[in-house]
Amino acid sequence: MAQKTFHIELRCVNVDDDKKFNSIKKAAQKAARQLHAQAMLVCAGDTPPQILLYGEDFINGRKEIEAGSDEE
């Protein structure tokens, strides 16, 4: 069976309010957890599905976000 990779990308331009940014980040964390749980139910084999969530901007680059918790 072939390994499949899925990509979801959300681009938010000019989110200068921290409260608004954090609400988007929390929604992404929740969606990542739900997607991972569904994959755990349907994926076969010895290797469990993996999920990677990160935020990226021009100045700070890529920063991994923990999908397992709603970190601030």
| pLDDT one digit per residue (tens) for the chain, 72 residues | 678 888 888 887 677 788 888 888 899 999 999 999 999 999 877 788 899 998 888 888 888 888 876 655
Split into its structural domains, the chain has a count of 1
Domain of residue 41 covers 18-64
Tell me what pLDDT residue 71 has: 57
pTM of the model: 0.78
Is 22 inside a domain boundary?
Answer: yes
Which residue spans within the chain are E strands per DSSP? 54-57, 61-64
Is 4 inside a domain boundary?
Answer: no
Is 70 inside a domain boundary?
Answer: no
